[in-house]
Amino acid sequence: MDEYKITSHSIDETLEVAQNIESDKFPGMVICLNGELGSGKTIFVKGFASGLGIEETITSPTFNIVKEYLDGEAPLYHMDVYRLEDSNEDIGFSDYFNKDGVCIIEWAELIEDKLPEERLDILFKVIDENTRVLKFIPHGKVYEDICNSVL
């Protein structure tokens, strides 16, 4: 399985990477974001959302687990599963994965057993105050194609 890496030196660069990936979106797309607190996961979601034309302020849905943004070119389902203590709690993940929008999941490793086989994993690694390394791991041909065309 191929891995792709990008080094982001600023919030703006992370936003730009997300917007580039958004340009290759498709219905049912699933993007899984992993990395420590403050590593840029929500920034990535903001960039993706702005690419979709969503004007609402994007915040991490820590307390309600899923936020739905329906006013862009495609629905965006933003999930933060950090507070799901028991990954057996069923909030209907597969229902979201099978919808016509895009799912972006923060802390996705916590529900790995519920994730679809085909997806894009992005690992955020903090290097210093401004620098992040984003490692992209595509699962499935369509996600490999996106990585090849965008990264």
First to last CA, the chain: 16
Sign for the CA dihedral angle at 104, 139, 81, 43 comes to negative
Q: What is the pLDDT at residue 85?
A: 64
Q: What's the domain range around 35?
A: 4-150
Structure tokens at 120: 């894009």
CATH of the domain at 73: 3.40.50.300
Q: Please state the φ and ψ torsions of residue 107, each to the nearest 5 degrees.
A: 65, 35
CA distances from residue 74 to 7, 120, 132 in whole angstroms, order as listed: 28, 18, 28
Task: Name the band, by pLDDT with cuts 50, 70 and 90, for residue 77.
Answer: very high
Domains: count for the chain: 1
Q: What is the pLDDT at residue 1?
A: 62
Q: What is the pLDDT at residue 92?
A: 83
